[in-house]
Amino acid sequence: MVRRQLIEPTLVIATHNKGKLVEIDALMRPFGIACVSAGDKGVSEPEETGATFEANAELKALHSARATGLPALADDSGLCVPALDGDPGIYSARWAGPAKDFGFAMRKVEAALAAKGASDRRGFFVACLTLAWPDGHCETFRGEVHGTLAWPPRGDRGFGYDPMFVAEGETLTFGEMEPARKHAMSHRARAFDLLTAACLSGRAR
């Protein structure tokens, strides 16, 4: 499959989250790409109405690309639990409620597993990244990291569901792990590797 190359010098990051912008900016800088956030460009946040991570990443990236006339990058991510039919999945952020309380969200996952009497404690994180251009062209990449769900949660590093996730072959939760180690194996890193290999291969690093 021929992938469209990102040749433009400026990329809009379709997020209003400063943390995500800083993380993505650090990944893009070695390729000579300057990142600006959709928020700084005055672009609103679209409603995430898609039924999949891919659909939500695409709608966010396209919204910013069309509004700014520049290529845009969006990510959509979450935790999927097979014993809960994939929940919280695309609703991972919403399970934390308006207070964005991930202690509450993790308890909700644990309570749902208990209610089902589930002995299957597998879980996996998904990240979908979409590069979109103002003409509507999209390139989308998916990364996953598989593991098991620990209880009680452990560690105060990372964010979201990190304290209850132990990646395959590891003993520490993502919440206990050195951030660099998590970032080397995470779903987001895997999606980024695919994106850079496919769409940034012609750019100097």
Is there a catalytic annotation at residue 76?
yes
Q: Which residues of the chain form contacts with ligand IMP (CB under 6 A)?
A: 76-79, 92-93, 125, 158-162, 174, 186
Measured from the CB atom, is 36 or 93 closer to ligand IMP?
93
**Residues shown for the chain:** 205
Measured from the CB atom, is 70 or 79 closer to ligand IMP?
79
Residue 153, amino acid: P
Measured from the CB atom, is 70 or 105 closer to ligand IMP?
105
CB atoms within 10 A of CB 22: 12
> Which residue number has the CB closest to ligand IMP?
160
The dihedral formed by the CA atoms of 30, 31, 33 and 35, expressed in degrees to the nearest 10: -50
Measured from the CB atom, is 125 or 192 closer to ligand IMP?
125
Taking a C-beta distance cutoff of 8 angstroms, is the pair 122, 148 a contact? yes
Shortest CB 37 distance to ligand IMP, Å? 14
Q: How far is CA 81 from CA 22, 60, 124, 130, 149, in A?
A: 29, 24, 7, 23, 9
Handedness of CA 105, 19, 123, 141 (dihedral sign): positive
Measured from the CB atom, is 71 or 158 closer to ligand IMP?
158
Shortest CB 55 distance to ligand IMP, Å? 12
CB atoms within 10 A of CB 181: 13
DSSP secondary structure, 45-97, as one string = PPP---SSHHHHHHHHHHHHHHHHTS-EEEEEEEEE-GGGTT-BGGGTTGGGT
Shortest CB 145 distance to ligand IMP, Å? 8
- Residue 166 forms beta bridges with which residues? 148
Shortest CB 32 distance to ligand IMP, Å? 27
Catalytic residue among 40, 75, 76, 85, which? 76
Shortest CB 204 distance to ligand IMP, Å? 29
Task: Kindly list the catalytic residues.
Answer: 76
